Amino acid sequence: MILALLFAVRAQFLMGTVCEIDAADPEPAFAEARRIEAMISTWREDSELSRLNRGEIASPSPELDAMLRQAMAISRQTNGAFDPTVGRFTLPRRGAKGSIDEGGFGKGYALDRMLALTHGDAVLNFGGQIAVRGAREVAVAHPRHRDRPAVTLTLRNASLSTSSDSEQSGHILDPATGKSVPSWGSVSVIDSSAFRADALSTALYVMGPERGVAWARAHNIVAIFVTDSGEITWSRKP
């Protein structure tokens, strides 16, 4: 992503990746990200979600329950192309009994909450997913040449989430098979909700470019599909 600067960018390592904040006062947002990490990170044994997956607590807190209900609603909307229960395919490695994995929605949820705690124009970059208040020029990289922008656009009061096998190292699983989705390029979703952008970019990548474009157009989703060869298809313009 290409970002111009408003303020001195602050960065912290959170939820297994780098979180950068360009805002007048980033500290409340960083504190919120740490709180959410403690609640949902499945790489932390003491998180609420990890304890729920191990069966150590009977039911989630109201906040986590609402988050999981939202994730399952998107799973139903996408006919399972996005599925927060893909953790069932990694249970032997994780040592858990439950199956919920926050990988497809956790950063998006955090970005929505973090942006709500910033004031004025702001840009948050959480491991490559961007959330903007105001307007900022950003770029979607070519999936096979990460130093080359495939698309440049102005993002206004929205989030942009990109899913690709090159970024995820083959870790995007097809919930129907439990296997990695074959490499084909990348898909970026623009949405006013970072949660939805995060989950839907995963779903559309699983669907693939042909089915994904058709689904995005049918549901009025702004998505940018970039194939390995550099072919660019918009589902619709923002």
Handedness of CA 170, 103, 159, 47 (dihedral sign): negative
Rounded distance between C-alpha atoms, residue 145 and residue 132, angstroms: 25
- Among candidate residues 167, 158, 171, the one with its CA nearest the CA of residue 187: 167
Predicted structure pTM score? 0.90
Query: What does the pLDDT profile of the chain (238 residues) look like in tens digits?
Result: 333 444 568 999 999 899 999 999 999 999 999 999 999 998 899 999 999 999 999 999 999 999 999 999 999 999 999 999 986 667 544 555 568 999 899 999 999 999 999 999 999 999 999 999 999 999 999 988 888 999 999 999 999 999 997 654 447 888 988 888 999 999 999 999 999 999 999 999 999 999 999 999 999 999 999 999 999 999 998 8
The pLDDT value recorded for residue 4 is: 42
Q: 228: which 2 tokens?
A: 């390995």
* pLDDT at residue number 146: 83
**211 C-beta neighbours (distance < 10 Å), count:** 12
- Which pLDDT score, from 0 to 100, does residue 1 have? 38
Q: Single out the residue of 161, 183, 154 nearest to residue 107, CA to CA.
A: 161
DSSP 230: -
